[in-house]
């Protein structure tokens, strides 16, 4: 017994990994070569099943078959992948030899002699892949590298070599991590092992922020796609690598421009906010003092003075309306419209709007009709926004209708929808079919406005539509050219 152990210990001094296992696959002896190859110290390995140390989960059945074969036939060989303590993989050529222990072979063990053949395997597979795929890989625009489970590059096309700054054939047999910045290499080894355990196709980019490392040490952003391959039962992965430096520079320039535009937009908002007071205050003064003069409070006016003051007041009111529209537009685009919901009695509001526009309608010989329910209709909404929408709609109807009537209706819609509708109907020129798609866009004026040379910004309907959305409602239009238009504002009752 002592002589057998002495001979066995001499064998264990081999530079290869020499491991003695019992029938259950537990480690009885663990050579210094095994420590160097797999990274487990002897004390940690002894008594532990080999399957828990170096055998890949998907190769457990293979390990059990080989152990049984070695015990049955007394000697067997095979090539497989083993896992080191740090998770990296190594190709080994294994010879299993039965070691009889005790009288009559009772308690027999197996000596596994495991030799690292990774370099030989890489060289052999590289030659095979070169013959099969070189011509195909050279035809692709992206850099292509094919890597085996141990992380060695088996083949790299010319585009990949050029991309990373290597000479022809210089990447072959190198670890794939040489193409990564140092800070990513440790984690990448784990990612690589996990990928080979569960291979799957990953599309180019896939939302990852990746960087490559050239031979001269410079980094550059890349996108990578991964595709699993199999060659002679060897699992491989093909990586397509694309330099996206130019696109990243463009994206950064675009982000910088967006920041610049945002600052300009903020400056514009600040300017408009500050100018709101500066512009409206003097105009209100002009309108107010003009009204005082026209009321003849300071004294009598002759006909020409009255006419000229009416022109001043009319133009001042028009300018104030334009300024208000532009300021409202700026607020809406900046998302700074502040709604203040309150209980609004809609019948009273409709009467106020009718009273405001009645004089303008009568001056043109138009009938201004109002159709409202007999009972109170209360809506919880922003009174100012609702009033602005209705004034815009009814005011447009009066402005563009030359004869006939303008009608404002308020109705509670039936069913379980719980909605109110405000409808403005006119007998004006109507809106053509080709005008309707852009009817609610900013700075758009219809043919009626152009034909009648009506002053305005083309913002009324745009602002009304946006305000309707902010109120949770909808604004739509129905029109027949030559017969008139109908605008319907629908708001939820709440």
Strand order in the sheet with 405-412: 367-371, 405-412, 419-426, 484-492, 474-480
Task: Answer whether residue 3 shows pLDDT above 50.
Answer: no
Query: What is the predicted pLDDT for the residue at 271?
Result: 72
For 2-116, the fitting CATH number among 3.40.50.300, 3.40.50.740, 3.40.50.2300, 3.30.450.20 is 3.30.450.20
Q: What is the pLDDT of residue 276?
A: 64
Do 189 and 87 form a contact (C-beta atoms < 8 A)? yes
Domain boundaries, the chain: 2-116, 121-243, 249-333, 341-492
Q: Does domain 249-333 have CATH number 1.10.287?
A: yes
- Starting at the edge strand found earlier in the chain, the sheet holding 143-147 runs 153-156, 143-147, 234-243, 219-231, 210-213
Which residues have CB under 8 Å from 106's CB, separation 6+? none
pLDDT tens-digit map of 232-245: 678 899 999 999 99
Taking the C-alpha atoms of residue 266 and residue 463, their distance in angstroms, rounded to an integer, is 20
Domain 2-116 and domain 121-243, same fold? Reply is yes
**Confidence category of residue 7, pLDDT binned at 50, 70, 90:** very low
Q: Which of 47-61, 77-91, 407-421 is the least confident region? A: 407-421
Evaluate the CA torsion angle 151, 155, 161, 165 in order and state its sign: positive
Question: Residue 49's pLDDT band (boundaries 50, 70, 90)?
Answer: very high
**Strands 75-83 and 27-30, bridge-based pairing:** unpaired
Percent with pLDDT over 70 in the chain: 89
User: Lowest mean pLDDT: which of 60-64, 121-125, 257-261, 459-463?
Assistant: 459-463
Give me Rg for the CA atoms of the chain: 43
pLDDT of residue 463: 87
**CA torsion sign, 145 to 148 to 153 to 156?**
negative
Residue that has been written with the tokens 């480690």 in this structure: 27
Q: Does the pLDDT value for residue 444 go beyond 70?
A: no
- Dist. CA 480–CA 389, nearest whole Å: 22
Q: Residue 171 pLDDT > 50, yes or no?
A: yes
According to CATH, the topology of domain 121-243 is Beta-Lactamase (3.30.450)
- Give percent of the chain with pLDDT exceeding 90: 47
Higher-confidence residue: 487 or 291? 487
Choice between 8 and 369, residue whose per-residue pLDDT is larger:
369
Between 3.90.1150.10, 3.40.1160.10, 2.40.50.100, 3.30.565.10, what CATH number should domain 341-492 receive? 3.30.565.10
Work out the mean pLDDT of the chain and round it to a whole number. 85
């Amino acid at each position: 017994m002592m002589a057998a152990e002495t001979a066995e210990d001499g064998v264990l001094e081999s530079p290869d990994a020499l491991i003695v296992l019992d029938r259950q696959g537990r480690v009885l002896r663990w050579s210094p070569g095994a420590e160097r190859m797999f990274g487990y110290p002897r004390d940690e390995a002894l008594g532990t099943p080999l399957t828990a140390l170096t055998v890949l989960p998907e190769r457990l059945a293979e390990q059990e078959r080989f152990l049984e074969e070695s015990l049955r036939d007394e000697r067997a060989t095979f090539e497989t992948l083993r896992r080191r303590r740090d998770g990296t993989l190594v190709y080994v050529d294994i010879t299993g030899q039965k070691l009889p222990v005790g009288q009559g072979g009772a308690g027999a063990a197996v000596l596994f002699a495991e030799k690292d053949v990774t370099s030989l395997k890489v060289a052999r597979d590289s030659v095979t892949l070169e013959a099969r795929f070189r011509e195909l890989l050279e035809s692709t625009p992206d850099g292509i590298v094919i890597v085996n489970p141990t992380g060695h590059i088996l083949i790299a096309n010319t585009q990949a070599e050029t991309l990373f700054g290597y000479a022809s054939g210089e990447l072959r047999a190198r670890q794939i991590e040489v193409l990564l910045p140092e800070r990513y290499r440790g984690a990448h080894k784990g990612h690589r092992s996990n990928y080979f355990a569960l291979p799957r196709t990953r599309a180019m980019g896939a939302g990852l922020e990746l960087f490559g490392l050239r031979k001269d040490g410079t980094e550059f952003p890349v996108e990578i796609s991964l595709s699993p391959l199999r060659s002679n039962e060897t699992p491989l992965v093909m990586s397509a690598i694309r330099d996206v430096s130019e696109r990243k520079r463009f994206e950064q320039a675009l982000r910088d421009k967006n920041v610049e535009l945002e600052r300009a937009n903020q400056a514009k908002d600040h300017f408009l906010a500050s100018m709101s007071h500066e512009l409206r205050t003097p105009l209100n003064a002009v309108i107010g003092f003009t009204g005082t003069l026209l009321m003849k409070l300071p004294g009598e006016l002759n006909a020409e003075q009255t006419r000229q003051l009416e022109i001043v007041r009319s133009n001042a009111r028009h300018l104030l309306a334009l300024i208000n529209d532009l300021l409202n537009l700026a607020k809406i685009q900046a998302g700074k419209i502040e709604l203040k919901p309150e209980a609004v009695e809609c019948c009273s509001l409709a009467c106020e709007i009718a009273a405001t526009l009645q004089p303008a309608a009568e001056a043109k010989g138009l009938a201004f009709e109002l159709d409202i329910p007999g009972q109170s209709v209360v809506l919880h909404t922003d009174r100012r926004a609702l009033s602005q929408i209705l004034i815009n709609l009814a005011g447009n109807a009066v402005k563009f209708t030359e004869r006939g009537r303008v009608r404002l209706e308020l109705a509670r819609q039936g069913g379980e929808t719980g909605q109110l509708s405000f409808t403005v109907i006119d007998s004006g020129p109507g809106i053509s079919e080709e005008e309707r798609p852009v009817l609610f866009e900013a700075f758009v004026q219809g043919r009626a406005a152009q034909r009648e040379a009506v002053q305005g910004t083309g913002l009324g309907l745009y602002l009304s539509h946006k305000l309707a959305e902010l109120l949770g409602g909808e604004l739509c239009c129905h029109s027949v050219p030559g017969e008139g238009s109908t605008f319907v504002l629908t708001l939820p009752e709440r």
